[in-house]
Amino acid sequence: MNTGLLVLRLGLGLLLVGHGSQKLFGLFGGPGLAGVGGFFHSLGFRPGKPMATVAGASEAGAGVLLALGLLTPLASAAVIGTLAVAGSVHWASGLWAQNSGYELPLLYATGAAALAFTGPGAYSLDNALGLDGLAGNGWGFAVVVIGALSGLAVVARGRRSRSARPCRRRPRTVRHRGARPGLTLAAPRSEPVPAPRDGLRFVERGRLASR
């Protein structure tokens, strides 16, 4: 069994390191922080680039911990939370990956949850450091609940952000010297209206006329 747990940890952990590296550094054909950040922003996970950094670091960091068999409950909770968010993006497409479904996130989260119940096995740093007792039914259920709740909280925040309407700025009113009383000009903040030249005055609707 210990050999099987080692194989599971290495396969799951190293693949997660690869996924995180795609997000963080653009390795293995990944889009990098700029691409992932823009995608996250469009989904409502804002600000996009910091959220992409958190997601990539969570995947890569948890992958390293799982491969080493170190702090396995923490690593498993991070994987479950991060992949719950990823699964929500594909939820509408159904289960199967061939239809862009959430099959792959579910597979990663299931593997991480299994390791939370079983522990990392004898060939792990947890075992070498005397932390192999951090496993079993109690730890497994706690890890699944904490990971799922953290992921769902991020999903809920993203959906609120996406559904929020952008605030519209009212154009500011600019008044110039020489303008007729009661006559104002509306201009966007980024384009200030220049002051009138000498010998010219404003008339109706912003047209210029000579004195």
> Contact, 189 vs 172, CB < 8 A?
yes
- 């911990």: which residue's tokens? 65
For residue 208, is pLDDT > 50?
no
Q: Where are the domains of the chain?
A: 2-163, 172-210
Average pLDDT (43-54) is 94
Dump pLDDT digits (tens) for 57-112. 999 999 999 999 999 999 999 999 999 999 999 999 999 999 999 999 999 999 99
Rg of the chain in Å (alpha carbons): 28
With b for 16 or more beta-carbon neighbours within 10 A and e for fewer, the 128-147 pattern comes to: eeebbebbeeebbeebbebb
For residue 3, is pLDDT > 70?
yes
Furthest-apart CA atoms within the chain: distance in Å: 96
Average pLDDT (6-12) is 98
With b for 16 or more beta-carbon neighbours within 10 A and e for fewer, the 74-95 pattern comes to: bbbbbbbbbbbbbbbbbeeeee
Determine the Cα–Cα distance for residues 112 and 5; give it in Å rounded to an integer. Answer: 11
Average pLDDT (43-68) is 96
Q: According to the model, what pLDDT value does residue 163 have?
A: 83
Q: According to the model, what pLDDT value does residue 133 have?
A: 93
Dump pLDDT digits (tens) for 146-204. 999 999 999 999 989 888 755 455 555 555 555 555 544 444 454 544 544 444 343 34
Q: Which two tokens stand for residue 99?
A: 């239809």
Say how many C-beta atoms besides its own lie within 10 A of residue 19's C-beta: 22
* pTM, rounded to two decimals: 0.77
Q: According to the model, what pLDDT value does residue 168 have?
A: 53
